[in-house]
Chains A and B, each alone.
Chain A
């Protein structure tokens, strides 16, 4: 297989990995921050 194409395929797979990881960070941030805010609101009365 052509080396450039092979590299491009690797880039595509890396891309999926980076995308999934970054999206997971976004999801964890949203859920975590939201729980924190809800807890603070409950403490505040």
Chain B
């Protein structure tokens, strides 16, 4: 009688009983994901990783794996979100059961979330630096796409199909929204893993790139001072606004498949340049809200069955290869620019061309200041960073188009 009572009591705690009702490996991974989520929350809280994304992601990861239960039909699941619902009837049913389903269905599957984040990023981006030095910025940005392009054949050699390889390779662009957009367009079944890997690496870029910089650029070159941009060219707000409209139109004309991203990015830039405070507040709110929900939903999508995909370790490996190669490409181009300009360009501007705006520009400035407290290269680095956003967008458009042609 006592035994029956304990068993009956346990039935109330379905999250715990679910541990014993399935394959032990699955339960072990579930437990590891709960622990990993707590670690991410802690690292985000301590600002070791980017807290804006890591805290909600870690929380989502922990809570969805803790809140797993046996659903009708003897299948394990949760009440957060069902990413595999695709048929209209399944989606309608899921919308009534899973509390995050409306957000997932209406913002993830159509890429709205990536576009909203890009709008917010655009609203805090100043294209003045790109307009002042377009040739240097774009040349460095091309070189900093080394990882985005070279990772593609490596991924194919490792057994990924063209679409999967392209979605993974875009991690080299170090631009979260671009990764979401491309992976949803090309490899929806791997989008959660690719996006989580990308955001994890983007979070550790602050730790990774300074090592790369020290390995590739001697200290005397790191401290080179660059002239303030106003000594080169002065750009008026009217000019910036005209450039925003012209650039966005031309880029959408060239790559209609990436047009939603370009449109939202330049809408953000236009909001900044038009200088209406209420618009700016809306853009800030959109960026903060979208980033928080992106992190939380991504975390909630990270259930044990997603992580047990055998491709996860390969994607993690290719992701880090892409990020490192892009950094190497940017720095190598920075060193070349230093040679060509006869010492007037600080090579660290090259690393900022890996688009992760504004993180890489901040890393370049921080490393330059470490070598020489008088070195101020941030405006130049921001120009390269904006160039990087554009080149990553171009490559996203290129990959989506060519994968469509290759089938």
Contacts and interface: CB of A to CB of B under 8 A. Distances in A.
Interface string B227-254: 0000001000001001100110011001
A34 B145 CA distance: 27
Interface in A9-43: 9, 11-12, 14-16, 18-20, 22-27, 29-31, 33-34, 37
Interface string B365-406: 000000000000000000000010011001100110010001
B247 A8 contact: no
Interface residues of B, number: 37
Interface of A: 2, 4-5, 7-9, 11-12, 14-16, 18-20, 22-27, 29-31, 33-34, 37
B151 to A, nearest CB: 9
A16 to B, nearest CB: 6
A15 B402 CA distance: 9
B156 A8 contact: yes
Contacts of A29: 246-247, 250
Contacts of A2: 157
9 contacts: A2-B157, A5-B153, A8-B162, A14-B398, A18-B394, A19-B395, A23-B390, A27-B138, A34-B233
A4 to B, nearest CB: 5
B149 A12 contact: yes
- B251, B394, B399 — which one has the most chain A CB atoms within 10 A of its CB? B394
B150 interface: yes
Contacts of B153: 5, 8-9, 11-12
A37 to B, nearest CB: 6
A41 to B, nearest CB: 9
B186 to A, nearest CB: 13
A5 B139 CA distance: 28
A37 B239 CA distance: 8
Contact of B254 (A7, A22, A30): A22
B141 interface: yes
A5 B109 CA distance: 30
Contacts of A34: 131, 233, 239, 243
B351 interface: no
Contacts of A30: 130-131, 134, 243, 247
